[in-house]
Chain A
């Protein structure tokens, strides 16, 4: 009877997780989805706390202290984070989840080692041991990989990557898988092997993420998220717990499909992303045509915007860095007051996470219908007088359409050059995140407005106000 109730409660929490995840995919009900998923998680934790166990002495005090400390840290981090730093935080959280999987599997290893050194290898259940090794492998990559992704997004680790890393990664991967396989087929071999799997996997997480960097970070975080899910599912097998198992697989598969969707948005294969196609190759154009950039004056831009029928803003990571989303909305309000149709064109991978720009603009109270996705925006471009590029670069790089030698050739972009006038707000002539030159800046209908995006927009607003 009691066991049946517990199973039912676990089943309920699995259903809550599924319903929650489903509701998260529709804007109107997404918030309730998150709440339902949290309820499911809470129920699962509660049941885990009261489920009767055959041995052990519960140690409730320790558990409650742990839950308390973890909740406090989690809440503080999530409340304090700037909206712009959200991708980093998600990556950090994901890394901690991976670390949790590694920590609990580590203990399994210690226990196996005890049994092993006792000389009775037969007592080690090989299936379980194999699953534990896999958990450690995948969880460790998710852990160190996410932490490195966090550091890279926070700008604490540079994007440099020596070419040998790609080969080293193949060696690591084959080495780790080889050792896991060897362990299963030769259980009597030295117990050094599981420890080597652990340390190599931790190292592999770093070398796996280091070459990627650049514009592909969203894809990596999504992939590492899927890894944590798989690690949780594997740990669920070891612990014989269905909620861990189903929840983990759900995250594993949904994370994988999300990763694939992101790759499709960039018209690249996952393999290509992982090998690290971007950056490094920042080739200077092979032609020595005079490349002239034209600087715009604030007054020009103010007049252009004030008397345009339609102005389209293209936000990118620069907007996030400059915290310029509210200023964008202010400009929007001002221009709308003059009867200008103001729209925002959001590229699927603008910023450093898909939907990053939407979140920031929503924070600034930009109404949902003003946000155009790529296809709608491109259709409107020929009827647009002014395109304001606010800190976006690679997603408006026409090289992706015109130059087969460009590293991002084939990626769909916002075709801003079809509008009458492009104004690029940019801090300097530095390359974009992918480290490649942007021919857009040299086009005849492009003018540059250098400076911090927020400052430039504020100056622009006062300039337009003066026009009256």
Chain B
């Protein structure tokens, strides 16, 4: 309990950010036609690949002889990139079909 109170006292901006970002996410999605549910899910899925940034930071920070960090970070980069690149690409393919003929 103490830890939670300390956290709130120490990081007020973070709390604001969490609340506002959650609200923003709700607002962005709440008025979406059914047609776009699948592309939207796919697009959001691509954005969740943002965790890739963590993997890049990890590899950049690792010393050259820290093979464990390098191996795991490398694996993370591959996995994250597949999610980001594949996600945006497949979303684009879905949306291509809505082009005006």
Contacts and interface: CB of A to CB of B under 8 A. Distances in A.
Interface in A382-440: none
Given A103-B75, A253-B24, A41 B48 contact: no
A57 B61 CA distance: 7
B68 A30 contact: no
B75 A358 contact: no
Interface string B20-40: 011111101111111111111
A59 B44 contact: no
Interface residues of A, number: 107
Given A25-B28, A67-B81, A127-B3, A59 B45 contact: no
A213 interface: no
B78 A66 contact: yes
Majority DSSP secondary structure for residues of B touching A: helix
Nearest to A110: B68
A311 B32 CA distance: 28
B51 A74 contact: no
B48 to A, nearest CB: 4
B43 A21 contact: yes
Contact of B43 (A20, A62, A363): A20
Interface string A53-67: 101111100110111
Interface in B44-101: 44-64, 68-70, 72-99, 101
B47 A44 contact: no
A228 B45 contact: yes
B54 A63 contact: no
Central interface residue in A20, A33, A59, A229, by most chain B CB within 10 Å? A59
Nearest to A41: B84
B20 to A, nearest CB: 9
B18 interface: yes
Contacts of B84: 41, 45, 70, 74
A373 B30 CA distance: 17
B17 interface: yes
Contacts of B79: 70, 96-97, 99-100, 103
Interface stretch (A238-246, A278-286, A297-305): A238-246
Contact of A355 (B18, B34, B57): B34
B94 A86 contact: yes
A231 B45 CA distance: 12
A20 B25 CA distance: 12
B99 to A, nearest CB: 7
A247 B47 contact: yes
Interface in A285-318: none
Contact of A254 (B3, B26, B62, B82): B26
A50 B93 CA distance: 31
How extensive is the interface on chain B, given as a class? Answer: 35 or more
Nearest to B75: A103
A177 to B, nearest CB: 16
A255 interface: yes
B53 to A, nearest CB: 5
Contacts of B57: 48, 53, 239, 241
B39 A30 contact: yes
Contacts, number: 350
A413 to B, nearest CB: 15
Interface string A243-272: 111111111111111100110010000000
B3 A126 contact: yes
Given A62-B59, A348-B34, A353-B37, A34 B95 contact: yes
A277 B87 CA distance: 31
A186 interface: no
B68 A244 contact: no
B47 A41 contact: yes
B46 A37 contact: yes
A221 B42 CA distance: 10
Interface in A64-85: 65-67, 69-71, 73-75, 77-79, 81
A248 B50 contact: yes
A196 interface: no
A97 B36 contact: no
A58 B34 CA distance: 45
Contacts of A41: 46-47, 49-50, 84, 88
A254 B28 contact: yes
Contact of A59 (B22, B70, B82): B70
Interface of A: 17-18, 20-22, 24-27, 30-31, 33-35, 37-38, 41, 44-45, 48-49, 53, 55-59, 62-63, 65-67, 69-71, 73-75, 77-79, 81, 86-87, 89-90, 93-94, 96-97, 99-101, 103-104, 106-107, 110, 126-127, 184, 221-222, 225, 228-229, 231-232, 235-236, 238-239, 241, 243-258, 261-262, 265, 346, 348, 353-356, 358-359, 362-363, 365, 367-368, 371, 373
Given A232-B49, A258-B32, 9 more contacts: A27-B35, A41-B47, A58-B60, A71-B85, A244-B51, A247-B50, A353-B38, A355-B37, A358-B38
18 contacts: A20-B43, A25-B28, A38-B46, A62-B74, A71-B85, A74-B83, A94-B48, A96-B83, A110-B68, A247-B47, A249-B22, A250-B21, A250-B25, A250-B44, A251-B50, A252-B22, A258-B44, A355-B35
